[in-house]
Amino acid sequence: MKWQGRRGSRNIEDRRRAGGGKAQVGGLGLLAILAIGYFMGVDVTPLLQGGGVTSGGSTEITEADRQAGEFVSVTLADTEEVWADLFRTQVGKDYKPAVLVLYKGVTQSPCGGASGATGPFYCPADQKAYLDTAFFTTLSRQLGAKGDFAAAYVVAHEIAHHVQNVLGILGQANRIRQQVSQGESNAISVRVELQADCYAGIWAREVQARFGTLERGDIAEAMNAARKIGDDTLQKSAGRVPMPHTFTHGTSEQRARWFERGFETGDMRACDTFSADRL
């Protein structure tokens, strides 16, 4: 992905110098905790604060941090331009962009604490996406999803939740989830997440058509990332037997297929996971 020297977004809230301690854990322990926290929607920060896990208070901004922040800013700017146009042409409404909060270690949101354990997430209460760019390292080294467009896919997926929120989809889904059983709630969550993957695919298509910044292998990187963070793959990697009733984001095959569907069609109507008979 060609991103260096390109326009960044003004909708970045950089909290990295004001961050708290940074929880550290390695190997399969980190993978298991991320699987529980990020993909089950549970704040597992307390798990990182005990059991031999150490934490430090450094908030130094390294050169890698600086570059990651610039990369996210450019990616966010691309989402803003793409979705503003798609809302005009496919929705007939104005698009109000999200704010993306960069933090290092831990921070707070109206949706709860954010840390390396929770992974990137979108909070509809303040219409902000939260991201510790250290997750990109986890994505590459622990989860096996390498490449800058794999990281761009993560940003695009979270902004896709903002798109759902602006459209009223996310609010309606969350209201229903509060009224049904845990299993039914999980099933609704899967449809929400797969639609976000599909929207991310639409974004990738528009980035290529509008900016011409995709490079050979970029789409493959995004689809590989989608596969690596499927619920079934994460549960297997954490040493667990996949349990479909606990899935909240969809299988690896589903995530990659819905991303591909968005990329191939470019049509938001094609991303209606809630009416789909087959996910």
The b-or-e profile of 152-183 (16+ CB within 10 A means b, else e) is bbbbbbbbbbbbbbbbebbeebeeebeeeeee
Distances (CA, A) of 229 to 12, 114, 203, 223, 245: 25, 19, 19, 10, 17
Closest by CA position to 252, among listed 268, 236, 240, 239: 236
Structure confidence by residue, pLDDT tens digits, 124-183: 999 999 999 888 888 888 888 898 999 999 999 999 999 999 999 999 999 999 999 999
Show the low-confidence residues of the chain (pLDDT under 70): 18-59, 116
Q: What is the pLDDT of residue 252?
A: 96
- Retrieve residue 185's tokens: 């709630």
pTM summary value: 0.86
Q: What is the pLDDT of residue 168?
A: 96
Closest by CA position to 129, among listed 111, 143, 145: 111
Beta carbons within 10 angstroms of residue 4's beta carbon: 9
Distance CA(98)–CA(77), nearest Å, equals: 10
Q: What is the pLDDT of residue 193?
A: 97
Domain boundaries, the chain: 12-271
Q: What is the pLDDT of residue 23?
A: 41
Distance from CA of residue 266 to its chain's centroid?
20
Find tokens 């602006």 and name the residue: 166
